[in-house]
Amino acid sequence: MYILGISCFYHDAAACLVHDGEVIAAAEEERFTRKKHDADLPQQAIAYCLREAGITADQLDAVGFYEKPLLKFERILQSTLQNFPQSWGMFTKAMPVWFRQKLWIQTEIENAIGKKVPIYFVDHHLSHAASAFLVSPFAEAAILTFDGVGEWTTTAYGYGKGTELEMTQEIRYPHSLGLLYSTFTAHAGFEVNEGEYKLMGLAAYGQPTYYQQVRDIVDLRDDGSFQLDMSYFAYHYSLHSMSDKFVQVFGPPRAPESPMEDRYANIAASIQKVTEEVMLAGARAIRQSTGSDYLCLAGGVALNCVANGRILREAGFKDIWIQPAAGDAGGSLGVATFLYYKLSGQPRRYVMHNAYLGPAYPDDEIQAFLQGNGIAYQELNDADLVATVGRLLAENNVIGWFQGRMEFGPRALGARSILANASHPQMKDILNEKIKHREQFRPFAPAVLLEETPNYFALGPEHESPYMLLVADVHPQHRALLPAITHVDGTARLQTVTAQENGLYYQVIREFFRHTGVPVIVNTSFNVRGEPIVCTPAEAYNCFSHTDMDYLVLGHCLVTSAAKKQIAAYPGRKGPRVKEEVIV
């Protein structure tokens, strides 16, 4: 049975194909269109999924959409009436796209795949819950989903066992942890639905001196639920998220790209602390109500890896599992797996052991690209490639690493990555200034051999962090040794690497370990600021040739910086995005 899952029309559109319960392929549309956070119907991602499975649309048994559009439309209409006349501007902005496209999703999907097929619409937060639990390693688990808003739900609490999911409690719009965090993201001068991780990184540079002001906004109850004081917000009646009262309390928002004042770092530290408290309270409450030793997390707020680390340490669970594509993209995977088990009645067999679900490019295709563009390269076998890259990293070279199937989700996990020496004192500045072209406060993530993790990080040997979704303390004695990945607060957002899930990547780190005595390297996404992670060999080469990377590895082909040449116009960022359009 083939089930296609689709998410789109808000941000991070994606498609996922499930065959007999196994996830065959999944990818975000932005990777193909090169439009960051592309929200349009994911036609290229759908085509990729079918191509990867070797099928046509005629062989699909069903298509699932990750939310119920009519319920979302009802929420917008009801919110407009409740907040009229203030809401009129937002309403007139939202309606054209709803009447032109969003109300006709079934027709849009049928036109995209070229075939009439049963189409099912599944609740947004149920799709999130399914994306976490139904592919997790747990036979039963508590479930928490936090995001901006789906139809009406913004936070959901539930329990899963076998193939059954029961969502037991919810928090409804306009009370939203995701929209709360996004409002502070906009206030700090970052793009909503893009800059939340920047706000999280900025928080480490501040002190929570605005904690009480933020805490006054949030009524956090003993059962883990919460409500917001809506007088601070405008997102329920405007395209802008902050009310005048918000600005009076926290000051004017920072202009994008302007100097970062200490005040914004202190506000970031304050909202981060409150967010952690809300998530931790929810996790403790669901632990008590379900009695489960395990927790699954999804929704965009589940990408807050600092809060995830606290939940793992403090909520009382033996282990937690977080969907690597926790945001809306992962809804495509959730709806596809949910529908498969509902329609087939089969037991669970598949576990999502890695996120390598995107396109791969074989060596002959890579060589054809390089030869066709007159780019000099050296072909290496596995052993020589590992030895060469390990040595080059130890010599402080920055390497573009393009291997195998592309990652699903926002993190580069050793398939489309830029690699560097984590122990080099200037490497963070080199990467930020010459490679990534981004803000200096932004931290870089370490990739560490799983078996060596407890020696360098405060993460026990029983826990893994394969998706870079947990923050842990760097042991104090190693912080000076690892300056490129140790954040200002002594923590790191780490990826643990095993030979089972990414053998070549693992071997490169082990070879670097042999040269340096350090089993940790820098792993950052293979892109520059404002662009999606690269997907194809041509995109990888373009990124390499327009930055100061020293070497590029495409499959088994090694390209040096001396071989850089212009082959095409750099694609760059496509299409403007509205900074604070956070709900429609």
Per-residue pLDDT of 22-53, as tens digits, reads 999 999 999 999 999 999 999 999 999 999 99
Per-residue pLDDT of 190-209, as tens digits, reads 999 889 999 999 999 999 99
| Residue-level pLDDT at 511 | 98
Question: What number of helices (H) and strands (E) belong to the chain?
Answer: 19, 21
| Amino acid at position 556, single letter | H
575 confidence band (pLDDT: 50, 70, 90)? very low
Beta bridge partners of 227: 219
434 confidence band (pLDDT: 50, 70, 90)? confident
Instruction: Give the largest CA-CA distance in the chain.
Output: 68
**pLDDT tops 50 at residue 580:** no
List alpha helices for 377-440, DSSP H.
382-394, 427-430
Task: Write down the pTM of the prediction.
Answer: 0.94
Measured CA to CA, the distance from residue 299 to residue 328 in angstroms comes to: 7
Please state whether beta strands 140-146 and 22-28 pair in parallel, antiparallel, or not at all (unpaired).
unpaired
| Residue-level pLDDT at 29 | 98
> What does the angle CA 263 – CA 269 – CA 272 come to, to the nearest 5 degrees?
140
* Peptide bond connecting 85 to the previous residue in cis, omega within 30 degrees of 0: yes
CB 127 within 8 A of CB 67: yes
Per-residue pLDDT of 136-145, as tens digits, reads 999 999 999 9
**What is the overall mean pLDDT for the chain?**
94
Per-residue pLDDT of 56-84, as tens digits, reads 999 999 999 999 999 998 998 998 888 88
Listing DSSP states for 237-248 in one string gives TSSS-B-HHHHH
CB 127 within 8 A of CB 66: yes
- Return the CATH number of the domain spanning residue range 2-135+324-344: 3.30.420.40
Listing DSSP states for 531-567 in one string gives SPPP-SHHHHHHHHHTS--SEEEETTEEEEGGG----
Both ends of the chain: CA-CA distance in Å? 34
Fold category of 363-563 in CATH: DHBP synthase (3.90.870)
More confident residue, 213 or 112: 213
| Residue-level pLDDT at 577 | 41
Q: Mean pLDDT lowest for which of 106-120, 278-292, 343-357?
A: 106-120
Mean pLDDT computed over 365-379:
96
Question: CA Rg, the chain, in Å?
Answer: 23
| Residue-level pLDDT at 579 | 43
CATH superfamily of 172-322: ATPase, nucleotide binding domain (3.30.420.40)
Q: Do you know the residue count of the chain?
A: 584
Mean pLDDT computed over 248-274:
96
Mean pLDDT computed over 315-324:
98
Portion of the chain with pLDDT greater than 70, in percent: 97
Mean pLDDT computed over 260-288:
97
Mean pLDDT computed over 554-574:
75
**pLDDT tops 80 at residue 88:** yes
Within the chain, all domains assigned CATH 3.30.420.40 are found at 2-135+324-344, 172-322
Per-residue pLDDT of 476-534, as tens digits, reads 999 999 999 999 999 999 999 999 999 999 999 999 999 999 999 999 999 998 899 99
Please state whether beta strands 520-525 and 378-379 pair in parallel, antiparallel, or not at all (unpaired).
unpaired
Within the chain, all domains assigned CATH 3.90.870.20 are found at 363-563
Token output for 448:
């560490």
Portion of the chain with pLDDT greater than 90, in percent: 86
Mean pLDDT computed over 421-443:
88
CB 422 within 8 A of CB 520: yes
